[in-house]
Structure formats: structure tokens, C-alpha cells
């Protein structure tokens, strides 16, 4: 039970400890960073046993103090975030040799991890905003880490759009506070249920502000323009982190908490919020997939693919049924691991070939079999080929759509899935198959730690379907779905009623 605040304290402490000890020795940041993320991964696995648990920071009971809430959903997201981050730090041991300052890199990465863990654990809406800002400010800095012209431009664009959305989120929080006089998610939920606040126009304005703010953070289609620039510009491990984790931990997860646990999806459906979410999801699915079809930069294509898959998640969570939530959560997991794998693959290609243009590659499979293997696993998973991770999540989303009697949307989702297969096959044909270019005839496979991380992540992608085996599902997925579906249980858990 004393372990819960350590999820935030360890990365924060290590992030500040690294610059103090490692000015002389270049190996220390690698060692400390990996040790820290590995410890966190083990901790997040240990924490499953303590679900559900509420932790009062400083001993102050809610609604006065800040609470850390470890329920099914938090534990699920913690495992995802820390697993992927561990593999990414393993990968960056070799990859970050391309850049000079590993010390600052690990510092910022761990700060970002601390922010994401905090967002996931906290039960206080303003605290959520603070952790969100810690995570995204590190992300802005890491996007421009190479300080090349494009990277700086992307970083600035990301920073401006991100700060505007943060300002709107803060405005939303101010509205909520002025209406209810509380900042605790569960307490706000109780107060909203008690009185007729739902008629107040200010509340609906706050909901729209949250929708805009978190929609921007999760790069849903009309608010997406920063993502295709920011994600390709960052170093490859950071791209994997941003695309795999940050848009989920800072975008979808707070939206889930606020819309499901704080407002309650039943209340929201009075004002067409689920319909809005669904349409936004649909636009991003189709738009992201269509734009990905015409990209020649491999990382830019993956970035558009991320937008498309965020659309799937929004579509699934707009349904509000248990099966829809299950589909959304499982798609969060499967997309995070698959897209991180793909970005790591692209990093490995860039490391060896020094280019990101898919037209210049070709026949790489011959020289880099392990990279090709992991790339293929990643794209097959996202295109929805059984028995990989992406198949199960898409299956659940489509089943949920059919069950909610939205056949048109179900067919639409299948169609976008075919498009996904289309653009990944195009990528595959250009990069891995075909005749090898003469310039790349002598290239060698990427360094060992990079390959190790990629292979481990591929194994996760292959065996992710095992989360659906009933005993495992009962531990991990079902509590997460349950806590979102029944908002009263969340309130009861936190306020102890």
C-alpha cells in the first residue's frame, strides 16, 4: 500500500538524480534510467494485488486532500505505460548515441513518465492538470531534442497548440470548481448528481472545453495538425513514447475519467456528447487512414495511422456499453504496443540507413531480418490479422458496434481496417520486400539492445490476446471496464461511503 506514491516519486527522483551524478560518466544515465523504468514495471505488476485502493496524500481525507486512486483502470494503464517505457529506455541505450546529451534525455523522459503515472493515479482534477502539464512540457522539449530546423518548428507548433488546449482545460476546471466547489473527481460527481447543476449552461460549456482540450491532446481529427509534425520529428524512442503512450495517457485517459466517472455517460447523452465523440472518431478513422496512404516519410505515415487508430478508440468509447469500453481499453493497449513497435522499427531503419523516405528503401529484409520481423508483426497487428493484438481489439470494437445496433458504423470500421491493411502493405512492399538497393547491400543489423527491445515488444504484441483468457481477464480488464461502466462504484471507492 505504501507503494502507490512511489510510482510517481521514483521517476521524479531519478530524473533529478541523474544530472547530479552523471556529469563525468556517460554510462550512468543509461544504467539509472533503465533500472528506474524496470523497477517501475515490476512495481506496476505488484500493484495489481492491491486493487482497489485509495491513497490519501499527506493523510488528508477526500474531498479536502489529494487522493491517489488505484482502481482497475489505473492499474491497467500503469502496466501498459511502464511496460512500454521500460522497453523504450532499453532501446534508447544504443539509439541515443546519435545525440549528444543522454543525461538530459533520460531526465526529460523520466519526468514525462512521472507525469503520465501521476495522471493515471490521481483522483483530483487539478492535480491531473498539473501532472498533464509535467508530461506534455517534457514532451515539447523532447520533440525538439535534436534542435534541427524541422524539429524546432514541430516542437514550437506542438507547444502552441498544446498550451492553448491546456488553457482551455484549466478554464474548464475553473468552471467545474465554481459550480461545485470541489476538485475531487468523486466528490464532484456526487455533487453533480445531487443538484440540478446539469441544467446550467456553464457546465455544458465546461464539457465542450474538456472535449476540445483533451481532443487536442489525443490528436483527434479536427484538432490533429500538430501530431504528424511532432511525432516524426522527435527521436524514434520519443516518437514511440508520444504516439504509443502520451496521446493515450494525456488525452484519452483523462477524457475517460472525466466523462465516465465524473459526469457520467448517461447524463452526457442528453446533449449529444456521445454522438459528437462518434462523429469525431469516424472522421479521424477515415481521414487518418486516407492521409496515411499518400505519405512517403515512414514516420509521418505511422503518425497518421495513430490518428486513425485514435478514431477507433473514440468510436468505441462513445458507445458507453461494457463491450464498447472493453474494446476501447483493449485497443488502447494493443495500439500502444504495436505503434511503439513500429516506431522503434522505423528508428532502427533510420539508424542504419540514414533515411526515412520509403521510396529510397527496398529489400531491407535480406540484410535486417529481425527489424523486418518486428515491422511485419507491428503492421499485421494494426491491420487486424489474427491472432495478433490488433485483431482482438478491432474485433471487440466491431462486435460492440453491432451489438449497439450501429451496423453502418461497424461496416465503416471494417472498411477503414481494409484501408489500414492497404497502407501498411504499401509500406511493406517499399521497405522490406523487392530488390535491395545497391547502396544498402552492405548494411548491418542494428545494435543488440535495440533489437532486444523490439523482439520483446513483438512478443508482447503476439501474445497480447492472452489477456482475454478468463482468469487473466478477471484480474486486468474486467475491473477496468467495471469501474468505468458503473460510476457509483468509483464514488463509493473514493469517498468510502
Partner 1 sequence: MKEEEKGLSTIVKVVTRWIVGFILLFGIYIVIFGHLTPGGGFPGGVIIAGVFVLLTLSFGREVPLRKLNSTLASELDSFGALVFLLVGILGLYLATYFAQNFITTFPQQYFRPFSAGVIPICNLAIGLKVGASIFMVFIILAVTRVISVGEGRMKMLRKRTGRRRRK
Partner 2 sequence: MEFILCFFLLMVGLYAVVTKRNLVKIIIGLAIMEYAINLFLILIGYRKDGIAPIMTSTMDRVEFLRKAVDPLPQALVITSIVIGFGILALAVSIAIRIYERFGTFDINEIKKLKG
* Cis amide leading into 52 (omega within 30): yes
* Helical H segments across 122-200, by residue range: 125-143, 149-180, 185-194
| The entry of partner 1, partner 2, none that residue 422 binds, CB within 5 to 8 Å by partner kind | none
Range in contact with partner 2 (rule: CB under 8 A) among 83-91, 115-123, 146-154, 239-247: 146-154
CB of 167 to partner 2, least distance (A): 5
β-partners of residue 55 are: 68
Residue whose C-alpha cell is 515512414: 298
Range in contact with partner 2 (rule: CB under 8 A) among 83-91, 222-230, 314-322, 325-333: 222-230
Of 38, 53, 55, 191, the residue at the interface with partner 1 (CB under 8 A) is 55
Which residues does 253 contact at the CB level (< 8 Å), separation at least 6?
73, 77, 119, 120
Q: How far apart are CA 211 and CA 277, in angstroms?
A: 9
CB of 24 to partner 1, least distance (A): 12
Of 57, 208, 421, 443, the residue at the interface with partner 1 (CB under 8 A) is 57
| The entry of partner 2, partner 1, none that residue 130 binds, CB within 5 to 8 Å by partner kind | partner 2
- Residue 245 near residue 109, CB atoms below 8 Å: no
Of 170, 276, 404, 456, the residue at the interface with partner 2 (CB under 8 A) is 170
Range in contact with partner 2 (rule: CB under 8 A) among 157-165, 305-313, 342-350, 388-396: 157-165
Of 28, 43, 164, 421, the residue at the interface with partner 2 (CB under 8 A) is 164
- Nearest to partner 1 of 67, 165 (CB atom): 67
Of 38, 56, 373, 433, the residue at the interface with partner 1 (CB under 8 A) is 56
> Under rule CB under 8 A, how many of the chain's residues touch partner 2?
33
- Residue 53 near residue 1, CB atoms below 8 Å: yes
Q: How far apart are CA 370 and CA 378, in angstroms?
A: 12
Q: How far apart are CA 242 and CA 230, in angstroms?
A: 9
Would you count residue 447 as binding partner 1 (CB under 8 A)? no
Would you count residue 183 as binding partner 2 (CB under 8 A)? yes
Would you count residue 147 as binding partner 1 (CB under 8 A)? yes
Residue 447 is given by DSSP the state: P
- Nearest to partner 1 of 57, 197 (CB atom): 57
Range in contact with partner 1 (rule: CB under 8 A) among 143-151, 283-291, 292-300, 325-333: 143-151
- Nearest to partner 1 of 67, 166 (CB atom): 67
| The entry of partner 1, partner 2, none that residue 421 binds, CB within 5 to 8 Å by partner kind | none
Would you count residue 100 as binding partner 1 (CB under 8 A)? yes
Would you count residue 156 as binding partner 2 (CB under 8 A)? yes
Which residues does 151 contact at the CB level (< 8 Å), separation at least 6?
143, 144, 145, 233, 234
Helix (H) or strand (E) holding 312: helix 298-319
β-partners of residue 68 are: 55, 122
CB of 178 to partner 2, least distance (A): 5
Entry field: residues in the chain: 497
DSSP string, 396-416: HHHHHHHHTT-HHHHHHHHHH
Of 20, 199, 442, 444, the residue at the interface with partner 1 (CB under 8 A) is 20
Range in contact with partner 1 (rule: CB under 8 A) among 51-59, 175-183, 275-283, 297-305: 51-59
Range in contact with partner 1 (rule: CB under 8 A) among 31-39, 98-106, 376-384, 480-488: 98-106
Of the CA atoms within 13 Å of residue 4, those in its CB half-sphere come to 23
Which residues does 191 contact at the CB level (< 8 Å), separation at least 6?
180, 181, 182, 197
- Residue 247 near residue 254, CB atoms below 8 Å: no
Q: How far apart are CA 172 and CA 345, in angstroms?
A: 39
Largest CA distance in the chain: 72
Range in contact with partner 2 (rule: CB under 8 A) among 73-81, 176-184, 466-474, 485-493: 176-184
CB of 5 to partner 1, least distance (A): 4
> Under rule CB under 8 A, how many of the chain's residues touch partner 1?
21
Q: How far apart are CA 497 and CA 487, in angstroms?
A: 13
Which residues does 357 contact at the CB level (< 8 Å), separation at least 6?
296, 297, 298
Of the CA atoms within 13 Å of residue 383, those in its CB half-sphere come to 19
Range in contact with partner 2 (rule: CB under 8 A) among 154-162, 281-289, 332-340, 456-464: 154-162
β-partners of residue 53 are: 70
| The entry of partner 2, partner 1, none that residue 275 binds, CB within 5 to 8 Å by partner kind | none
Using DSSP, state whether 443 is helix, strand or coil: coil
Binding interface with partner 2 (CB under 8 A): 126, 130, 133, 137, 140-141, 144, 147-150, 152-157, 159-160, 163-164, 166-167, 170-171, 174, 177-178, 183, 225, 228-229, 233
Binding stretches for partner 1 (CB under 8 A): 2, 5, 9, 12-13, 16-17, 19-20, 23, 55-59, 98-100, 146-148
Amino acid at each position: 500500500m505504501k507503494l502507490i506514491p512511489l510510482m510517481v516519486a521514483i521517476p521524479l527522483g531519478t530524473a533529478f538524480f541523474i544530472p547530479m551524478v552523471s556529469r563525468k560518466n556517460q554510462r550512468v544515465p543509461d544504467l539509472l534510467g533503465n533500472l528506474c523504468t524496470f523497477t517501475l514495471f515490476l512495481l506496476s505488476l505488484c500493484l495489481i494485488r492491491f486493487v482497489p485502493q485509495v491513497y490519501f496524500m499527506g493523510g488528508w481525507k477526500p474531498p479536502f486532500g489529494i487522493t491517489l486512486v488505484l482502481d482497475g483502470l489505473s492499474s491497467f494503464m500503469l502496466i501498459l505505460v511502464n511496460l512500454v517505457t521500460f522497453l523504450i529506455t532499453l532501446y534508447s541505450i544504443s539509439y541515443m548515441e546519435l545525440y549528444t546529451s543522454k543525461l538530459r534525455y533520460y531526465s526529460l523522459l523520466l519526468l514525462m513518465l512521472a507525469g503520465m503515472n501521476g495522471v493515471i493515479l490521481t483522483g483530483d482534477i487539478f492535480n491531473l492538470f498539473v501532472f498533464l502539464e509535467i508530461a506534455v512540457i517534457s514532451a515539447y522539449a523532447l520533440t525538439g531534442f535534436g534542435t534541427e530546423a524541422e524539429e524546432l518548428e514541430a516542437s514550437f507548433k506542438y507547444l502552441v497548440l498544446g498550451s492553448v488546449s491546456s488553457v482551455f482545460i484549466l478554464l474548464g476546471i475553473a468552471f467545474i470548481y465554481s459550480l461545485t466547489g470541489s476538485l475531487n473527481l468523486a466528490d464532484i460527481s456526487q455533487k453533480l448528481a445531487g443538484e440540478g447543476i446539469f441544467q446550467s449552461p456553464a457546465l455544458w460549456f465546461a464539457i465542450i472545453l474538456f472535449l476540445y482540450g483533451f481532443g487536442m491532446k489525443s490528436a483527434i481529427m479536427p484538432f490533429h495538425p500538430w501530431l504528424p509534425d511532432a511525432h516524426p520529428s522527435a527521436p524514434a524512442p520519443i516518437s514511440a513514447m508520444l504516439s504509443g503512450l502520451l496521446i493515450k495517457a494525456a488525452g484519452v485517459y483523462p477524457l475517460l475519467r472525466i466523462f465516465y466517472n465524473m459526469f457520467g455517460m448517461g447524463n452526457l447523452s442528453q446533449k449529444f456528447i456521445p454522438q459528437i465523440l462518434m462523429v469525431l472518431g469516424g472522421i479521424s478513422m477515415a481521414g487518418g487512414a486516407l492521409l496515411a496512404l499518400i505519405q512517403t516519410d515512414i514516420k509521418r505515415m505511422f503518425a497518421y495511422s495513430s490518428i486513425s487508430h485514435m478514431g477507433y478508440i473514440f468510436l468505441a468509447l462513445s458507445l458507453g456499453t461494457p463491450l464498447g469500453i472493453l474494446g476501447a481499453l483493449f485497443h488502447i493497449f494493443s495500439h500502444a504496443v504495436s505503434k511503439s513497435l513500429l516506431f522503434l522499427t522505423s528508428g532502427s531503419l533510420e539508424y542504419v540507413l540514414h533515411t526515412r523516405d520509403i521510396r529510397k528503401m527496398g529489400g531491407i529484409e535480406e540484410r535486417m531480418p529481425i527489424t523486418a520481423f518486428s515491422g511485419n508483426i507491428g503492421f499485421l497487428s494494426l491491420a487486424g490479422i489474427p491472432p495478433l493484438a490488433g485483431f482482438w481489439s478491432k474485433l471487440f470494437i466491431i462486435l460492440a458496434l453491432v451489438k449497439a445496433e450501429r451496423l453502418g458504423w461497424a461496416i465503416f470500421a471494417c472498411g477503414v481496417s481494409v484501408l489500414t491493411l492497404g497502407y501498411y502493405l504499401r509500406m511493406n512492399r517499399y521497405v522490406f520486400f523487392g530488390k535491395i538497393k545497391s547502396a544498402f547491400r552492405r548494411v548491418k543489423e542494428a545494435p543488440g539492445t535495440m533489437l532486444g527491445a523490439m523482439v520483446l515488444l513483438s512478443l508482447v504484441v503476439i501474445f497480447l490476446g492472452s489477456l482475454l483468457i478468463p482468469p487473466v481477464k478477471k484480474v486486468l480488464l474486467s475491473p477496468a471496464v467495471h469501474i468505468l461502466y458503473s460510476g457509483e462504484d468509483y464514488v463509493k471507492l473514493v469517498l468510502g461511503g
